[in-house]
Amino acid sequence: MDRVHAFGDDALGELDAVGMVQALRAGTVSPVELIDAAIARVEAVDPACNGLAYEAFDRARTRARQPRPYGGFFDGVPTFVKDNVDVAGMPTMNGTDAWEPRPAADDGDFARAYLATGLVPLGKTQMSEFGFSASAEHPRLGPVRNPWHLEHTAGASSSGSGAFVAAGVVPIAHANDGGGSIRIPASCNGLVGLKPSRGRLPLDKDMRQMPLRIVHNGVLTRSVRDTAAFYREAERVYANPKLPPIGDVTEPGKARLRIGVCTRSVAREASPEVSELTHKTAALLEELGHRVVPVDNPVPARFVDDFLLYWSFLAFALVRGGRRTFGETFDRAKLDNLTLGLERYAARNLVRVPAAVARLARVRRITSRLQDTCDVLLMPTLADVTPRVGHLDPVADYEQVIARLVEWVAFTPLQNATGEPAISLPTAVSASGLPVGMMLSAPVGRDARLLELAYELEQARPWARIQD
Task: Give the E-state strand segments of 19-167 in sequence order.
Answer: 52-55, 78-82, 120-125, 137-138, 142-143, 145-146, 149-153
- Using CB atoms within 10 A of its CB, is residue 57 exposed (0-12), middle (13-18) or buried (19+)? middle
Q: Cα–Cα distance between 409 and 415 in angstroms, integer?
A: 12
Residues in contact with 55: Cβ distance below 8 Å, sequence separation at least 6, in sequence order: 42, 122, 123
Q: Are 208 and 81 in contact (CB under 8 A)?
A: no
Q: Which amino acid is at 114?
A: Y
* Active-site residue, selected from the candidate residues 82, 133, 158, 271: 82
Backbone angles phi, psi at 147, to 5 degrees: -65, -20
| C-alpha distances in Å from residue 437, one per residue of 411, 429, 446 | 12, 8, 20
9: left (phi over 0), alpha (psi -120 to 50) or beta: beta
Distances (CA, A) of 6 to 12, 49, 52: 10, 11, 15
**Contact present, 332 and 319 (Cβ < 8 Å):** yes
Task: Single out the catalytic residue among 128, 135, 157, 265.
Answer: 157
Q: How far apart are CA 424 and CA 438, in angstroms?
A: 5
Known catalytic residue: 128? no
Bridge partners, residue 379, by sequence: 439
CB 99 within 8 A of CB 322: yes
Beta strands 142-143 and 120-125, pairing class: unpaired
Yes or no: say if 10 and 40 are a contact pair by the CB < 8 Å rule: yes
Which residues are 174's β-sheet partners?
Answer: 219
Instruction: For residue 430, indicate whether it is catalytic.
Output: no
Q: 157 an active-site residue?
A: yes
**3-class DSSP assignment, residue 409:** coil
Is residue 422 within 8 Å of 441, Cβ to Cβ? yes
| CA distance linking residue 286 with residue 371, whole number of Å | 19
Identified catalytic residue from 158, 181, 312, 424:
181
**368 in helix, strand or coil?**
helix
Q: Which residues are marked as active site?
A: 82, 157, 181
